[in-house]
Amino acid sequence: MVRIIAAGWLTFVVILSVSKSLGYGKWAWGSIEHFLGGNLQMHFVMAFILSALAHLASSRFWHRGWLLMLLITGCALDESVQFFFPLRNFNLLDFLVTCVGLLLAALPFMVAQWRILKKSYTPKR
């Protein structure tokens, strides 16, 4: 069930980004942006929720940082593509705030995975 919710959230975020790039749906993304308090807050919240859901939906292997790197790469691609759309522009601060949201949501999963790995490699006395 969590995987379905995570995939749905990812789809929702991608559709919002594409609609903003193409100049459609200002009522939707504009309302969300206004409700959350601005563009940077929207980037943070969307990324945080995406990362949390993705980590909940994935196996422990992905909690070693692979999923975080995949999410950061995807967000970097999304932000970079905006350079080519006349209605959008590349904003490094948007990308950095997105990365902070992704990282903060991933941190508990990565710490738990690190503890599991550390425990399994610690020699018994």
pLDDT of res. 41? 95
Q: Which residue has the tokens 């949501």?
A: 105
Residue 40 to residues 53, 93, 100: CA-CA distances in angstroms?
20, 8, 11
Q: Is the pLDDT of residue 48 over 80?
A: yes
Q: Which two tokens stand for residue 80?
A: 């970079």
d(CA 110, CA 124): 24
Q: Which two tokens stand for residue 63?
A: 């909690």
pLDDT in tens, 63-89: 677 889 999 999 999 888 888 888 788
Q: Which two tokens stand for residue 107?
A: 């941190």
Helical residues (DSSP H) of 23-91, grouped into ranges = 26-36, 39-57, 66-81
